[in-house]
Amino acid sequence: MGLNIALVGTGAVGSTILQVLDERNFPVDGLKLLATERSAGKKVTFRGEEYTIEKTRPESFEGVDVALFAGGKASTLFAHEAVSRGAVVIDNGSAFRMDSDVPLVVPEVNPQAIREHKGIIANPNCSTIQMVVALKPIHDLSPIRRVVVSTYQAVSGAGQEAMDELENQTRALLAGEPLEVSVFQHQIAMNLIPHIDVFLDNDYTKEEMKMVNETQKIMGVPGMKISATTVRVPIMRSHSEAITVETADKISRDEARKAFGNAPGIILQDDPAGNVYPMPFFTSNTDEVYVGRVREDLAFDNGLSFFVVADQLRKGAATNAVQIAETMLEFGMLGGQS
C-alpha cells in the first residue's frame, strides 16, 4: 500500500528528492508538489505521470501521510500546519534541528531517535550528515573525545546561482576578461574561501557551529569537543572533509579500516599505493559516504585521520530524507501501520 506524499519545494533538493523516491522504489500512492506562487502551474513528471505544482497552503496537507520539506522558509510557515492535519514532516531546513522535541536523524547513526518524534523530524546539515556517518563506526569501537574537521564544500551547496557564478568566472578568467562577484564574498574561481554563512561572536561561522551542535545531538554526546573550519572550494558538486578524531582507547589503522568497511552507508576507498581515495568528481550522484586516507594520527596518542566525500544534494539532503521515511516504514510508523 502506497503513501500520500507532499513535496514542498521543487528546486535542486526537491527535484533530487523526487529522483531518489523513484530510484529507491518508495511506495508513493498520491503525490502533491507544492512550492511558492512563482513556481505554481509548472509541470513535473514523476513515474510517467505529469503533476502540476501548486502554491503551498495550509489545506494542501489534508490527507497527506508524509510531507517532505526541501528547505527554506516554507518549513517555518507550514510544517506545523502539516502536522496538525496528520502528516509527518521530514524537514531539510535548519528551523527545527536543535529543538529538543525534534529528532535530528541520520538513519545509519541514530535511527531509534525517529520513534521520539512529535510530528517533525529534522534532516541535519549536509556537512554534518556525511561526517557523523563516518564517525559512528569509530565511536562504536571507542568513544570519540575530540573531533577536528576541515571541509572542502562544493559551490552547489549554495544553489544554482553559485554554480553559475563559478562557471562564468572560470570562463572569464581563462579569457582574460573581468570577473563578476555576486554570490560569494570573493572570487571563487581558482580560489578557496574559508567563510560559509555568517561569522558568530566566537569567530566561528554559523556553518561551523552547525557541525558542532548537530553532531553532538545526533551522536548523543553533548560534551564531545569539536572544532570545524568550513571552506568553499571551486568544485561543482560533492563535499569533502578532512577529519581527525581522538578516541578514549587506541584504535589501529587496520581496526578502523575494518570498521569503515563493515559500516552501513560507507564505501571504503583506501589504497594509497594504488592512488585510490575518495574524490568529489567520482563520487557525485551517489548515495554513499566514501572514506579513505585512513591513518593513525601523529598529533594524538589515540588519534585517527581520514578523508570523507559525499554528494551533498543526495546523502547530504534528499537521500537522507527519503531514508528517514523508509526507516519509519520499517518501524511500522506510517500510513496506518501498527
Same domain, 308 and 159: yes
Of 117, 126, 139, 195, the active-site residue reads 126
Tell me the three cell numbers of residue 304: 585517527
Q: Is position 139 annotated as part of the catalytic site?
A: no
> pLDDT tens track of the chain, all 338 residues?
699 999 999 988 999 999 999 999 999 999 999 999 999 999 999 999 999 999 999 999 999 999 999 988 999 999 999 999 999 999 999 999 999 999 999 999 999 999 999 999 999 999 999 999 999 999 999 999 999 999 999 999 998 899 999 999 999 999 999 999 999 999 999 999 999 999 999 999 999 999 999 999 999 999 999 999 999 999 999 999 999 999 999 999 999 999 999 999 999 999 999 999 999 999 999 999 999 999 999 999 999 999 999 999 999 999 999 999 999 999 999 976 54
In a domain, 336, yes or no: no
Same domain, 166 and 74: no
Same domain, 113 and 200: no
Question: How far is residue 178 from each of residues 166, 172, 187, 234, measured CA to CA in Å?
Answer: 13, 6, 11, 18
End-to-end Cα spacing for the chain: 14
Of 117, 139, 195, 239, the active-site residue reads 239
Same domain, 77 and 102: yes
Model-level pTM?
Answer: 0.96
Q: Is position 117 annotated as part of the catalytic site?
A: no
In a domain, 51, yes or no: yes
In a domain, 76, yes or no: yes
Same domain, 282 and 147: yes
Same domain, 79 and 190: no
Same domain, 154 and 216: yes
| Domain of residue 89, residue span | 3-124+317-330
Same domain, 170 and 294: yes
Same domain, 70 and 217: no
What is the longest distance spanned by two Cα atoms in the chain?
65
